């Protein structure tokens, strides 16, 4: 086949295919915007519209009933909800508004207020009609992009003053095909320009973009009925809350994917994010976490096996991306990602990760100490890092007396630190995404006599209270708990209980705010993960949405507008129920302002903090950019400025540590790759924040000697009365 013939096949217009299976709305949608491309001599590839099955219709009815009658949120199916489902569905299918025109939206809007009643009764055709039209518009756009590349990128003009909007999720729909053509020329120019600035030549750029668009085109032609059904059901289920979702039969086959989307091989938790696959968090102890370069909110562009070309995965189904990233132990997979810190989706980086299994011992709690000198007074502060709340359930059920769990391991570490004579304890829960609920309950019990640890309310307003019934206390000294935005679920339960009991101070940044409980329920076709309960602190406030607010705040690089429960659509709100009786071990109100003042003074003088704040400001500036220039000279200046800032911050940090500065950004990136390969390397922010936790501990000991030995409730009451 000649090059011309191959091009003919790739550019061929699609046809309606089996139009007989579609109802009148499909015909109306497809005929509303005919395609102008002429038929080629070679038989064109045809998009076959997908259609719902009887099993899917039955599953839809079951899902609708479960959502209305068993979900925690009491939400009926109304005209308003119908419109919200319509918007959410379009946001999933065309979140950046680059495929559909205003005319398409006007045509589809005829069913906007009828989706709810159809979903109640398993009438899936309206949702499938929308899906089919979007797939055909995607094919048309990708064909246009490939034709533009065939015409030659040397024809693209990079001397104009054009700009392109980076985030089009709130933009107006382009009115017609001509406007979309102009937008796509800009998108292609942006992609070409970004790669030229990264040093790629035009042949490589054309090859990369052609493989990207052809891969997406192939996926569009291969659309399946299950793809439409899963997308439609998740738009529907997402109205109740972001953690309620439908799993197809294929997804349900694997428990790890079904429950947490935890990838075998690299240890990353992923989710679909419009046409991208986004990193939600890293599994503690996993290869990606130890490698150190993959970050939450990174979006995966391509996946490459060892010694093979990258496969573009934009527009792929999540389960297919999972399958591609999986692989045998000790093999290497390379992910091309759009970094979370990047304001431009065309600026990517490649991360190579050695596949391995996540071992329980690598998620285990660990300890360290910090030595502090305050005006001749020496303090030793113990640090216990808890990556996750774990328990070896298999060994536990087998009756192994030495089975591993968070609480058992922490109890041992506390005993060891006490033998070393520590004056205080810092518990590091940053990046701890939760885990076994009973472990959070038991862990609180190491620091209090007895009492409630968390409340759980179901959709019937019945409240269950979990208690620590063990009167023994592993540690009764002063305590600091470190949190950040990635501290979630069980971590929030522990931090909230310590705060409510006045048992210690919470230091760091606001936690994630994941305060809901899900259950997986089987359907005739797939499964439904549904939110059924909500966590509340012993003081009555929910951890949902708001999370735990630290007593002393430390800024973080993590973007709270993109990571966290309050960044998710339709998240359940914060609310409050009655508190349950609990002891207050210490009242920090008399010293908290002085602690904050000392912390602020220390940070004002700290070169580490100034660098961290400078980096946060730089990242925020990049995140706030709404457009990017398509002028080569202006874009070059912008990129050089970004590179200079990155290099300046990195060299300032090296100077603090007595290391030689990097001469170029390439040298910095090479060093970062080497550090990532060295699994024993440490995170500089981690050390900085832990040191500050130790300093706050020393402040506590200096300000109130009573903290050296926490008062019992009776002693505290007696002393308070005396004062």
Which contiguous run of DSSP H or E holds residue 311? strand 311-312
In this predicted structure, what is the pLDDT of residue 714?
52
Indicate whether 5 pLDDT > 60: no
In this predicted structure, what is the pLDDT of residue 422?
95
Label residue 420 by pLDDT band (50, 70, 90): very high
Q: Are strands 552-553 and 627-629 parallel, antiparallel or unpaired?
A: unpaired
Residues in the chain: 723
Mean pLDDT across the chain, nearest whole number?
85
Label residue 255 by pLDDT band (50, 70, 90): very low
Write the pLDDT tens digit of every residue in 581-639: 999 999 999 899 999 999 999 999 988 888 888 888 888 888 888 999 999 999 999 88
When comparing pLDDT for 237 and 10, which is higher?
237
Spatial separation of the C-alpha atoms in residues 650 and 175, rounded to whole Å? 46
Cα dihedral 702, 705, 711, 717 sign: negative
Spatial separation of the C-alpha atoms in residues 405 and 439, rounded to whole Å? 7
Half-sphere exposure at residue 629, Cβ-oriented, CA atoms within 13 angstroms = 14
Write the pLDDT tens digit of every residue in 445-482: 999 999 999 999 999 999 999 999 999 999 999 999 99
In this predicted structure, what is the pLDDT of residue 707?
46
Q: Mean pLDDT throughout 243-249?
A: 91
In this predicted structure, what is the pLDDT of residue 723?
39
In this predicted structure, what is the pLDDT of residue 44?
59
When comparing pLDDT for 374 and 201, which is higher?
201
Is position 633 annotated as part of the catalytic site?
A: no
Is position 500 annotated as part of the catalytic site?
A: yes
In this predicted structure, what is the pLDDT of residue 482?
97
Indicate whether 214 pLDDT > 60: yes
In this predicted structure, what is the pLDDT of residue 27?
31
CB-count burial class (<10 Å; 0-12, 13-18, 19+) for 23: middle
Label residue 194 by pLDDT band (50, 70, 90): confident
Write down the pTM of the prediction.
0.83
For 36, 171, 365, 699, the CA distances from 87, given in Å and listed in that order, are 29, 14, 44, 52
Catalytic residue among 500, 559, 608, 699: 500
Full DSSP string of 536-577:
E-TTSBBSTTT----SEE---SS-TTTSSGGGSTTPPPP-B-
Among candidates 50, 41, 31, 49, which has minimal Cα distance to 11?
A: 41
What structural domains and CATH numbers belong to the chain? 3-237 (no CATH), 245-354 (2.30.42.10), 362-587 (3.90.226.10)
Label residue 7 by pLDDT band (50, 70, 90): very low
Among candidates 170, 205, 171, 211, which has minimal Cα distance to 190?
A: 205
Spatial separation of the C-alpha atoms in residues 358 and 147, rounded to whole Å? 45
Q: Edge-to-edge strands of the sheet including 366-374? A: 366-374, 377-385, 424-428, 479-483, 505-508, 552-553
Q: Mean pLDDT throughout 140-169?
A: 94
Indicate whether 21 pLDDT > 70: no
In this predicted structure, what is the pLDDT of residue 243?
94
In this predicted structure, what is the pLDDT of residue 252?
60
When comparing pLDDT for 176 and 262, which is higher?
176
Catalytic residue among 489, 491, 509, 556: 489
Express as a percent the part of the chain with pLDDT over 90. 56
Identify the three-state secondary structure at position 714: helix
In this predicted structure, what is the pLDDT of residue 12?
43
Label residue 344 by pLDDT band (50, 70, 90): low
In this predicted structure, what is the pLDDT of residue 6?
40
* Mean pLDDT lowest among 250-254, 399-403, 607-611, 644-648: 250-254
In this predicted structure, what is the pLDDT of residue 273?
76
Spatial separation of the C-alpha atoms in residues 651 and 38, rounded to whole Å? 58
Write the pLDDT tens digit of every residue in 642-697: 888 888 888 888 887 788 888 887 887 777 666 555 544 444 444 788 999 999 99
Indicate whether 38 pLDDT > 60: no
Indicate whether 190 pLDDT > 70: yes
User: Buried (b) or exposed (e) across 517-545, using 16+ Cβ within 10 A?
Assistant: bbeeeebebbbbbbbbbbbbbbbebbbbb
Is position 342 annotated as part of the catalytic site?
A: no
Express as a percent the part of the chain with pLDDT over 70. 86
Indicate whether 127 pLDDT > 60: yes
Indicate whether 261 pLDDT > 90: no
Catalytic residue among 295, 367, 514, 534: 514
Among candidates 57, 46, 97, which has minimal Cα distance to 229?
A: 57
């Amino acid at each position: 086949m000649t090059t011309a013939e191959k091009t003919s096949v790739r550019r061929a217009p699609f046809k309606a295919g089996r139009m007989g299976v579609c109802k009148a709305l499909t015909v109306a949608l497809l005929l509303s915007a005919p395609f102008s491309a002429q038929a080629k001599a070679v038989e064109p590839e045809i998009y076959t519209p997908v259609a719902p099955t009887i099993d899917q219709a039955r599953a839809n009815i079951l899902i609708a009933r479960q959502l209305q009658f068993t979900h925690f949120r009491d939400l009926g199916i109304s005209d308003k909800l119908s419109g919200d489902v319509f918007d959410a569905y379009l946001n999933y299918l065309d979140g950046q508004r680059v495929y559909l025109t205003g005319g398409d939206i006007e045509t589809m809007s005829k069913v906007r207020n009828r989706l709810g009643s159809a979903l109640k009764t398993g009438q899936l055709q309206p949702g499938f009609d929308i899906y089919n039209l979007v797939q055909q518009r995607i094919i048309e756009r990708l064909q246009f992009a490939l034709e533009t590349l065939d015409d030659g990128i040397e024809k693209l003009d990079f001397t104009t003053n054009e700009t392109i909007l980076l985030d089009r999720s709130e933009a107006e729909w382009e009115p017609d095909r001509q406007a979309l053509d102009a937008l796509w020329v800009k998108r292609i120019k942006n992609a070409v320009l970004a790669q030229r600035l990264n040093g790629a030549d035009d042949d490589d750029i054309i090859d990369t973009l052609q493989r990207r668009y052809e891969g997406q085109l192939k996926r569009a032609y291969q659309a399946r009925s299950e793809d439409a059904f899963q997308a439609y059901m998740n738009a529907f289920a997402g109205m109740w809350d972001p953690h309620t979702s439908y799993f197809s039969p294929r997804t349900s086959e694997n428990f790890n994917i079904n429950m947490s989307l935890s990838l075998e091989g690299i240890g990353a938790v992923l989710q679909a994010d419009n046409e991208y696959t986004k990193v939600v968090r890293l599994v503690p102890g996993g290869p990606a976490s130890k490698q150190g370069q993959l970050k939450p909110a990174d979006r995966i562009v391509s996946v490459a096996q060892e010694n093979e070309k990258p496969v573009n995965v934009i527009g792929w189904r999540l389960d297919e991306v999972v399958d591609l990233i999986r692989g045998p132990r000790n093999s290497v997979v390379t992910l091309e990602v759009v970094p979370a810190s990047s304001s431009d989706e065309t600026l990517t980086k490649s991360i190579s990760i050695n596949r391995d299994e996540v071992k329980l011992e690598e998620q285990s709690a660990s300890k360290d100490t910090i030595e502090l000198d305050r005006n001749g007074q020496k303090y030793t502060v113990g640090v216990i890092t808890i990556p996750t709340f774990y328990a070896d359930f298999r060994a536990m059920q087998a009756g192994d007396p030495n089975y591993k769990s968070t609480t058992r391991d922490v109890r041992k570490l506390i005993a060891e630190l006490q033998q070393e004579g520590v004056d205080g304890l810092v518990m590091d829960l940053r990046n701890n995404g939760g885990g076994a609920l009973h472990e959070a309950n038991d862990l609180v019990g190491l620091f209090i006599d007895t009492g409630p640890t968390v409340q759980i309310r179901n959709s019937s307003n019945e409240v269950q209270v979990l208690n620590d019934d063990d009167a023994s206390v592993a540690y009764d000294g002063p305590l600091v708990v470190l949190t950040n935005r990635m501290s979630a679920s069980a971590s929030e339960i522990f931090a909230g209980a310590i705060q409510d009991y006045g048992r210690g101070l919470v230091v760091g940044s606001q936690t994630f705010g994941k305060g809901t409980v899900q259950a997986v329920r089987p359907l005739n076709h797939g499964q439904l993960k549904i939110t059924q309960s909500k966590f509340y602190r012993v003081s009555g406030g929910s951890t949902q949405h708001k999370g735990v607010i630290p007593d002393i705040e430390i800024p973080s690089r993590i973007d709270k507008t993109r990571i966290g429960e309050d960044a998710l659509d339709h998240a359940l709100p914060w609310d409050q129920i009655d508190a349950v009786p609990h002891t207050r071990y210490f009242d920090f109100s008399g010293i908290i302002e002085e602690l904050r003042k000392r912390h602020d003074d220390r940070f004002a003088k700290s070169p580490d903090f100034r660098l961290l704040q400078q980096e946060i400001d730089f990242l925020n500036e990049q995140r706030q950019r709404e457009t990017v220039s398509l002028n080569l000279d202006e874009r070059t200046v912008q990129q050089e400025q970004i590179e200079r800032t990155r290099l300046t911050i990195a060299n300032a940090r090296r100077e603090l540590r007595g290391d030689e500065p990097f001469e170029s950004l390439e040298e910095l990136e090479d060093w970062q790759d080497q550090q990532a390969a060295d699994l024993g390397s440490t995170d500089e922010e981690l050390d900085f924040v832990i040191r500050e936790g130790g300093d706050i501990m020393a402040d506590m000991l200096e300000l109130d000697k009573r903290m050296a030995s926490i008062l019992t409730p009776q002693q505290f009451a007696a002393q308070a009365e005396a004062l």
